[in-house]
Amino acid sequence: MKMYDLVIRGGTVVTASGTEQADLAIVDDQIVAIAPEVSGSAKAVIDAHLLHLLPGVIDAHVHFNEPGRTAWEGFVSGSRALAAGGTTTFFDMPLNAHPPTLDAASFAAKLAAARASSYVDFGLWGGLVPGNLQQLDELAACGVVGFKAFMSNSGIDDFQAVDDATLYWGMERAANLGKIVAVHAENDQLTSSMAQQAQAAGRTEVRDYLASRPVVAELEAIERAILFAQETGCALHIVHVSSGRGVRLVAGARARGVDVSCETCPHYLVLTEEDMEDLGALAKCAPPLRSQTELEALWQHLFAGTLPMVASDHSPAPPHMKTSADFFQIWGGISGCQSLLALLLTEGYHQRHLSLQTIVSATSAYVARRFQLPARKGRLEVGADADLSLVALTEPYQLQESDLFYQHPYSPYLGFELRGKIVRTLVRGRTVFLDGEIVGMPAGQFLPSFPLTPSGQVS
């Protein structure tokens, strides 16, 4: 008779291809059976009859600030928040920690901190900035996901925006290394000049900030990055696209054969510029929140499959940086990684009838493929890692400050009526979150990324 470590009985198993009611059996780290009825004995059983089993979210875009700025957020608080939100793997960005991840030494410091403290598995982005082209090879050898560059001011002095030559040369090198380049795409000239002009005239309200970062700044930077990627043969990922037209540029280039993808974030799907006016600092981000029209366009692209990925861009800061009479001075970044899946279930599945398959693809299956994670990640299948969340899909609740695991428990979504409660999260078969509490000790593993193909091309 088979002996399992854990059998999760009777849940609705959701994969990128469909849903079925099934038992799911786990031995060690792995899923070893998914079937209508799994027989055999189990050391532990979970009754999941009223629950959905979703693949753990892979959040490709968070800023956890450790080492160096752990008071903003660290791997303990950040990964706890992820676990509570149904996320089992994250990729940490190379900036907002100090030192930023720009060479092998800073990579080693970040890796040590994450290994010591993360409750969930993780990959690490390296940075591309003026002056570190010579370090891209050593970062690739460390196993970074890829190289992240800012085309506009990052808001942090130790991570400079790329000039065009650095971006172009960086992409040439990345293409050789089989690495993807991710860009924050906003035209720096436009956004900086508009911000300076507004501030010089004493126009420092939310509306003035919004006006200083128009959609055209995003569109121009996306076009330029795509052109460079096409020319260099580099794989390109545009982070946090905020506009329908931005997604259309990416989808059009992909249709022409350019190896380019993009993500949006929950805040661009559920909040508008009016919300930024109402919520103030909590909702400040860059690119900024947009109109209802853009928000609707993003949803349409999600439905159509032309917007393949959603990531949180969780970018926290301490309270004193979220307070100023001058809105331009306030830290730009939204704390949202804990709410990513719940918002997609609430606003996507329940409100708009977006399929669970699309949600699962955008938050795990596609992410794993695009960033070439090992085949055991991003799938609820036999042989895959048992990374999953158990969700009470219809259970309504109101998001409270006391629910948040962030270092600084603020969120633009407090008071939101959510549906789709994450009841339990497992990472490689171990429960890390259960009924509102974190369980166990940090045991997250690093997922090094080494390209399978020199081009890094993924379908």
Structural contact between residues 281 and 206, judged by C-beta atoms closer than 8 angstroms: no
Distance CA 135, CA 127 (A): 9
Q: Is 49 within any annotated ligand binding site?
A: no
Distance of CA 430 to the CA centre of its chain: 22
What is the smallest separation between the CB atom of 63 and ligand 3AL, expressed in angstroms? 5
What is the smallest separation between the CB atom of 121 and Zn ion, expressed in angstroms? 20
Q: Is 148 within any annotated ligand binding site?
A: yes
Contacts for 217-220: CB closer than 8 Å, 24+ residues apart: 217/152, 217/186, 217/187, 217/190, 217/191, 217/287, 218/185, 218/186, 218/187, 218/242, 218/243, 218/246, 218/287, 219/243, 219/245, 219/246, 219/249, 220/187, 220/190
Q: Which is nearer to ligand 3AL, 55 or 94 (CB)?
A: 94
What is the smallest separation between the CB atom of 329 and Zn ion, expressed in angstroms? 18
Q: Which is nearer to ligand 3AL, 288 or 308 (CB)?
A: 288
Q: Is 408 within any annotated ligand binding site?
A: no
Structural contact between residues 87 and 337, judged by C-beta atoms closer than 8 angstroms: yes
Give the 3-state secondary structure of residue 289. Answer: coil
User: Distance between terminal CA atoms of the chain?
Assistant: 41
In angstroms, the Cα distances linking 411 to 267, 295, 310, 336 are: 11, 19, 18, 7
Is residue 155 near ligand 3AL by the rule CB under 6 A? yes
Per partner kind, with CB cut-offs from 5 to 8 A, the member of Zn ion, ligand 3AL, none near residue 285 is: ligand 3AL
Is residue 286 near ligand 3AL by the rule CB under 6 A? yes
Total residues at the site for ligand 3AL (CB under 6 A)?
Answer: 13
Distance CA 150, CA 152 (A): 5
Q: Which is nearer to Zn ion, 232 or 312 (CB)?
A: 312
Q: Rule CB under 5 A: which residues touch Zn ion? A: 184, 313
Q: Is 184 within any annotated ligand binding site?
A: yes
Is residue 332 near ligand 3AL by the rule CB under 6 A? yes
Residues 45-84 that bind ligand 3AL (CB under 6 A): 63
Q: Is 163 within any annotated ligand binding site?
A: no
Which listed residue (315, 335, 346, 363) binds ligand 3AL by CB under 6 A? 315
What is the smallest separation between the CB atom of 347 and Zn ion, expressed in angstroms? 21
Q: Which residues contact 181 (CB under 8 A, 6 or more apart)?
A: 128, 146, 147, 148, 149, 167, 170, 171, 174, 229, 234, 235, 236, 237
What is the smallest separation between the CB atom of 314 and ligand 3AL, expressed in angstroms? 9
Q: Is 52 within any annotated ligand binding site?
A: no
Instruction: State both tokens at 354.
Output: 């977006």
Is residue 333 near ligand 3AL by the rule CB under 6 A? yes
What is the smallest separation between the CB atom of 90 and ligand 3AL, expressed in angstroms? 14
Q: Which stretch binds ligand 3AL (CB under 6 A): 30-38, 148-156, 198-206, 225-233?
A: 148-156
In the β-sheet with 87-92, what is the strand arrangement from edge to edge? Answer: 57-62, 87-92, 121-124
Is residue 348 near ligand 3AL by the rule CB under 6 A? no
Distance CA 113, CA 447 (A): 14
What is the smallest separation between the CB atom of 171 and ligand 3AL, expressed in angstroms? 19
In angstroms, the Cα distances linking 101 to 142, 257, 331, 440 are: 11, 31, 21, 29
Q: Which is nearer to ligand 3AL, 275 or 381 (CB)?
A: 275
Distance CA 48, CA 434 (A): 13
Q: Which residue in the block uniquely carries the two structure tokens 């955008």?
A: 362
Q: Which is nearer to Zn ion, 125 or 327 (CB)?
A: 125
DSSP string, 339-364: GHHHHIIIIIIIIH---HHHHHIIII
Give me the residue whose beta carbon is nearest to ligand 3AL. 285
Which listed residue (79, 154, 338, 361) binds ligand 3AL by CB under 6 A? 154
Q: Which stretch binds ligand 3AL (CB under 6 A): 150-158, 174-182, 289-297, 342-350?
A: 150-158
Q: Which is nearer to ligand 3AL, 63 or 430 (CB)?
A: 63
CB neighbour burial string for 378-388, b if at least 16 within 10 angstroms, e if fewer: bbbeeebbbbb
Q: Which is nearer to Zn ion, 63 or 369 (CB)?
A: 63
What is the smallest separation between the CB atom of 63 and Zn ion, expressed in angstroms? 6
Which listed residue (32, 102, 156, 276) binds ligand 3AL by CB under 6 A? 156
**Interface mask toward ligand 3AL for 89-128; x: CB under 6 A:** ------xx--------------------------------
What is the smallest separation between the CB atom of 61 and Zn ion, expressed in angstroms? 6
Distance CA 66, CA 114 (A): 8
Distance CA 386, CA 368 (A): 15
- Interaction site with ligand 3AL (CB under 6 A): 63, 95-96, 154-156, 184, 285-286, 313, 315, 332-333
Annotated binding site for Zn(2+): 61, 63, 148, 184, 240, 313
